[in-house]
Amino acid sequence: MITPIQGFSKLTKAEKINWLADNYTHNPKRTKELLKIYWNNDEELQKLHDEFIENTITNYYLPLGIAPNFLINNKLYAIPMAIEESSVVAAASKAAKFWLSRGGFKTTVLGTEKVGQVHFIYKGDEKKLNNFFSSIKPLLFSESNPLTVNMKKRGGGITNIELRNKTSDLENYYQLHCTFETLDAMGANFINSCLEQFAKTLKKEALLYSDFSETEKNIEVVMSILSNYAPNCIVRAEVSCKVEELNEDPNISSNELAHKLVQAVTIAKIEPYRAVTHNKGIMNGIDAVILATGNDFRAVEAGIHAYASKNGRYTSLTNACIEGDVFKFWLEIPLALGTVGGLTNLHPLVKTALDILQKPSAKELMQIVAVAGLAQNFAALRSLVTTGIQEGHMKMHLLNILNQLGANEEEKKQLTEHFKTHTVSHRSVTSAYESLKND
């Protein structure tokens, strides 16, 4: 029987692995070897990775791929993507190439406002709270000066602090709803530090406010935290071309393809089951760039999906239409990103990814990421409404299956040739591999 362990975090990495493998795995010897194979020989580099999180035992690799030929606002980019799913990088590259000869992608940042809130309980007269808030508002700014001085020097800082009455949703619940400009930083630390200072000022000043009764003086701060919902930190990415330029496929006319693409987007607009998968495809592109550039994909995911439901129903993030003889395809999404601070200064591959992207500002990175999402959706929809997704997908998947089966380079070469004219499925690949082995 496995018993709980005390002081796991104090064990060395090797001791952690030994305990884990001995207590939880079926083949402790192999587990111990395997976990150590993934350690980096460069001790300094390994130490850096060990210290990113707690209780590190080894490294977990994801492939880093490149989708070249992205023309964005007339500038060419090769986009780094960290992702485990086959076809995604190929699809992005294909879409990039397609739009390269049709004017490329156009992008605009529509806003960069970040949000944070102090959630608190106030039991008393609302008018008095309003007056109190007006009287302490300058103090909320000035007492956070030590935290904001550097950000202000660079042109950012706190942009507004608002008192919001939420008592119709929850008894006695109010907020300081605060907005920030954090420039090239994602800003989570900056925002959270400011909010915690606002909370201190709020509580301290309430105790001194003579118009408040004893109960009113006792403001209870529940929590102070940034919001990952950033509906005013928005980027737009778009492509367009003449309908007649849309197609490269002899099996479908340009006109039919344009209409099918619009229909596919319309279905994702009105049908949440489809919208989720449609948007998942967009996130294939977005998350891969977010990960490669050391940003927080959970924050981005949460914010984008909330935005997709902002009108009360989960819907497509992309839009498509035909205007006259022009096909237009675009998306608008919230993206709170950073190109300085956090992992961007620490992880050597993140630094390299940002270097490949020509050291973008946070605004430029927003545009690149949005384009990766739009390109991914275009590629997915084009396959879905023509050949279907499996054809391309399974060809890419072939290599994964062959790797799982342990095929050597020569076998992979022969089987890749064979499957140029045969349908890929797990069973067909296994059986072709076995026949080849038995030949």
Residue window 85-104: x/- pattern of binding to ligand MEV, with contact defined by CB under 6 A: x-------------------
Q: Pick the closest to residue 220 from 166, 174, 179 (CA basis).
A: 174
Q: Is residue 322 within a helix (H) or strand (E), and if so which, with residue range? A: strand 318-323
d(CA 228, CA 117): 11
For residues 192 and 228, is the Cβ–Cβ distance under 8 A? no
For residues 318 and 370, is the Cβ–Cβ distance under 8 A? no
Question: Which tokens in the block code for residue 431?
Answer: 């059986």
272-292 vs 348-356: helix crossing angle, rounded to 10:
100
Strands 106-109 and 64-72: unpaired
277 contacts ligand MEV (rule: CB under 6 A): yes
Report, in Å, the least distance between residue 71 CB and ligand MEV. Answer: 23
Shorter beta-carbon distance to ligand MEV: residue 119 or 278: 278
d(CA 178, CA 184): 19
Q: How many residues bind ligand MEV (CB under 6 A)?
A: 9
Q: Which of 156, 281, 285, 342 binds ligand MEV (CB under 6 A)?
A: 281
Q: Is residue 20 within a helix (H) or strand (E), and if so which, with residue range? A: helix 13-24
Residues in 151-170 that interact with ligand MEV by CB under 6 A: none
d(CA 437, CA 326): 54
Q: Pick the closest to residue 249 from 371, 68, 388, 70 (CA basis).
A: 388
Q: Which of 278, 347, 382, 397 binds ligand MEV (CB under 6 A)?
A: 278
Q: Pick the closest to residue 110 from 359, 370, 375, 316 (CA basis).
A: 370
Based on the residue annotation, tell me whether 220 is a catalytic residue of this protein.
Answer: no
Part in contact with ligand MEV (CB under 6 A); list of ranges 110-118, 166-174, 196-204, 274-282: 274-282
Q: Which of 72, 186, 317, 380 binds ligand MEV (CB under 6 A)?
A: 380
Q: Which of 137, 280, 351, 363 binds ligand MEV (CB under 6 A)?
A: 280
Strands 234-242 and 106-109: antiparallel
Shorter beta-carbon distance to ligand MEV: residue 281 or 294: 281
Q: Pick the closest to residue 202 from 191, 186, 216, 185 (CA basis).
A: 216
For residues 85 and 67, is the Cβ–Cβ distance under 8 A? no
Residue window 50-89: x/- pattern of binding to ligand MEV, with contact defined by CB under 6 A: -----------------------------------x----
Report, in Å, the least distance between residue 57 CB and ligand MEV. Answer: 29
Report, in Å, the least distance between residue 289 CB and ligand MEV. Answer: 15
d(CA 292, CA 60): 14
Q: Which residues pair with 105 in a beta bridge?
A: 72
Report, in Å, the least distance between residue 384 CB and ligand MEV. Answer: 6
Based on the residue annotation, tell me whether 217 is a catalytic residue of this protein.
Answer: no
Shorter beta-carbon distance to ligand MEV: residue 356 or 389: 389
Report, in Å, the least distance between residue 225 CB and ligand MEV. Answer: 32
Shorter beta-carbon distance to ligand MEV: residue 346 or 384: 384
For residues 331 and 282, is the Cβ–Cβ distance under 8 A? yes
Report, in Å, the least distance between residue 376 CB and ligand MEV. Answer: 8
Based on the residue annotation, tell me whether 411 is a catalytic residue of this protein.
Answer: no
109 contacts ligand MEV (rule: CB under 6 A): no
From 296, 347, 364, 397, active-site residue? 296
Q: Is residue 204 within a helix (H) or strand (E), and if so which, with residue range? A: helix 188-208
Residues in 387-416 that interact with ligand MEV by CB under 6 A: 389
Part in contact with ligand MEV (CB under 6 A); list of ranges 174-182, 222-230, 234-242, 280-288: 280-288
From 280, 305, 328, 363, active-site residue? 280
Report, in Å, the least distance between residue 303 CB and ligand MEV. Answer: 20
Write out the DSSP string of 90-126. HHHHHHHHHHHTTT-BEEEE----EEEEEEEE--S-H
From 13, 85, 125, 395, active-site residue? 85
Based on the residue annotation, tell me whether 296 is a catalytic residue of this protein.
Answer: yes
d(CA 374, CA 279): 10
Amino acid found at 126: E
316 contacts ligand MEV (rule: CB under 6 A): no
Active site residues: 85, 280, 296, 393
Contacts with ligand MEV by CB under 6 A lie at 85, 277-278, 280-281, 284, 380, 384, 389
